[in-house]
Structure 1
């Protein structure tokens, strides 16, 4: 073990894993451990988590409300990009990691720590996300990843260690069969029956959204106002980014919106089956995408769309603080200058459907689009356009 590590900043949830990690690092590295518990809108009671960290051996415990920063500086920029991984996943877990890593590094600087630590396993994506972010922000800091270092191989091993060192064990949860991650954007479920991709998810995997069968039989209409690509008002009420996502989570969850069951490709090379709930994010995605249809020039939209896969991979693979993601963000934000207007959404039985849109920057012209008689478009001109488009096909042989 590195003898020059005197102080470590640990991402700490207060659960079994990170409690054991706290004590293990202190004993193994013979160093101080400072903890960071981030409130990202996971709807957990964080009262007492700092006291638990101190009782477990931490020299100092930070508990920070990062909800507004998370929504404003991470979720909203990603939403402006219409980012979806593998065409389906709205990146709820992925986008939280760079913010946590950012605060770990900042606190390490404040505390004079030589290392940061996380509780991600050696099989998953989060280890990559935490560590790439830390490397980008301060490559001098060492990273401690206990799951890649210690000899523990099971939850039983962790429980035994906790009992040996007087670490309070968490009360068993009703969803203990799942590995879960939740923040204001989504909740993810892995493990349990989900490890068999043929098995239908059980009721325990419903937390933020009701099953569609239990959703109201009457649709609900809402209006979302956008300014420069960001949702700023709901039904006429101005809301901050965090308040907007929370309000839409409630509305979307009530109508069973935002459930996703998929097998994805992890960055580390493993296929993984998970269930994701992203009710508010799904509404935002659908509304934003629809408003762009009326506000964005065709070629600007197609250029931006060609970058969605690349941008999404930056987020999923942990390259949020990489130069390519930052460059992509500048281009994307340029396309959003006129994405301003209102979208009327119909929420019903798992669906968030745009049914109306308007914008002061609308490029839609009824006099061009109409099927009625007009004096703007000469339909005979289309013949020459088609002939020119087809010139390259004349010599093409199958």
Structure 2
């Protein structure tokens, strides 16, 4: 029933799964405490997520808790075929393979929804928007969903504003134990990893232009600065721009930054961040890439159509413009930290996916009382995940005394 690239890769996928699992104990231990009760028995869960070794740990946990699990990849280029084969071998219905076309990517989502899942777990909002607006799935009885990314949450906020949401969606991305760690430390490290694998050039002494100073951008800027780069930040938000300035980085419009940057990294989730006019101003040899969820931040279509292109390294295209100027495009403008590298380390994904698991269980218990809108992760779940991480790290913290509690609640 699954559709994957090669079932023979399952043994390699199991090794990858085992490595990730050994570093995600707060997730596996939470699932282990609930195995006997099978709180997800009788439910079908539909996942649209990046098919990495870390994701496989979450999917196996969901199956162990009694759910029928159906999954597809969250991006046409990011599936790890050995992981997909391993999931299939574990009885998880999987529609995912690497290097998909857009139509193949959407077909996989259709297959997941055809299993009539009651809960959707999404990474970017594609599965949920299809469940809402594709007439083939208008009769689905979804009790709720969770969302992993800023991009997805923004899409649902727009749908909520237009009163289009049909069921509650928990914004896992907004949990402090997700956003402040996965988005910042995970994206920061995996972006450097992806760019190094793609270009194998030194960061020290290079001028790196980072677009966006949200949690993703901050993480990328920190890591680039730590590698010895001169960092320029571009922003549209005056508060974030001021923060970047106060943190010691140059802040300027892209029109100026395009002329001086050596390496460009977009982290905004917004369309048309690096446009035709910016590409035309860039220096010979500039490297351009994106770590936002969708491939809309860089005008790769213009770049590829106006240049003679060849693949110079894995996930790096050399684009020779009229006149001879060369611009290098990482991962065809798609999410470089997942396409050119393996994505986030398992330790930070353990926090994100612990939030996912607890929010799935929260929906099962509370969905009848929830309205069709976007919800933040309940504070008790966020705090619980943080305490689990501290416990696993053998870190103890203070508690309020009775006197302090009384003082805190006194005028």
Query: TM-score, normalized by length of structure 1?
Result: 0.31
Query: TM-score, normalized by length of structure 2?
Result: 0.30
Q: Whose radius of gyration is greater, 1 or 2? A: 1
